[in-house]
């Protein structure tokens, strides 16, 4: 590479490597080689590997929660339907990789807990806007989120028609 890399370039590459190869691949040397630069570029932006890991986790929280919520809020469709299509239709390798990382690392575990809470709060908010009582919204949000996590961790994607049928059923169950 002839241009100077930014910290954002490193975190984006970190997310790609994390999704493809897991958290053990998040090391300065192999990342630098893959990006065609020296390790010095890495250490120009990050004091150490822990600082890089923190930046990767922060960026994951931004794209896996805040960006999705902003997109849902900007969409003209019904928010809960949009959220379900977006969440269940996404490639979830990164979700699986971060959750695997969290089994071994306290910082990753904290990031997962924070994103779980943010997502649950948002789902509860959407259900509340549909007229559900706070207790019912909380219970249904939890069940819906557990459903998403089971889906995210279960492996290969479903055919589009099957996925849509399941999402329609989920919406019908939530409306009942």
Mean pLDDT of residues grouped by 10 in the chain (176 residues)? Answer: 80 97 95 92 94 97 95 92 91 95 97 98 96 95 95 85 92 82
Does residue 41 form part of some domain? yes
In a domain, 125, yes or no: yes
Q: Crossing angle of helices 79-88/106-129, nearest 10°?
A: 150
**CB-CB contact of 98 with 44 (8 Å):** no
List Cα–Cα distances, 155 to 50, 63, 91, 115, 158, in angstroms.
Answer: 29, 21, 10, 21, 9
In a domain, 1, yes or no: no
* Residue 2 forms part of a structural domain: no
Secondary structure of residue 105 in the 3-state scheme: coil
Total number of domains in the chain: 1
pLDDT (0 to 100) of residue 174? 82
Residue range of the domain that includes 53: 7-175
* Residue at token pair 């409306």: 175
Question: pTM for this one?
Answer: 0.90
Q: Looking at residue 146, what is its pLDDT? A: 96
CATH number at residue 90: 1.10.357.10
């Amino acid at each position: 590479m002839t241009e100077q890399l930014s910290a954002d370039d490193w975190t984006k590459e970190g997310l790609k490597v994390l999704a493809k190869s897991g958290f053990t691949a998040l090391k300065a040397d192999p990342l630098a080689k893959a990006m065609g630069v020296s390790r010095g570029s890495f250490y120009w932006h990050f004091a150490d590997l822990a600082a890089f890991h923190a930046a990767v986790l922060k960026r994951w929280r931004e794209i896996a929660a805040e960006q999705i919520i902003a997109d849902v809020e900007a969409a003209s469709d019904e928010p809960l339907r949009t959220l379900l299509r977006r969440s269940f239709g996404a490639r979830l390798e990164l979700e699986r990789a971060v959750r695997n990382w969290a089994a071994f690392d306290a910082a990753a575990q904290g990031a997962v807990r924070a994103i779980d809470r943010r997502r649950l709060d948002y789902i509860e908010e959407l259900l509340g806007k549909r007229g559900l009582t706070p207790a019912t919204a909380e219970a249904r949000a939890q069940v819906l989120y557990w459903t998403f996590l089971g889906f995210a961790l279960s492996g290969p994607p479903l055919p589009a028609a099957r996925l849509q049928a399941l999402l329609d059923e989920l919406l019908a169950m939530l409306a009942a």
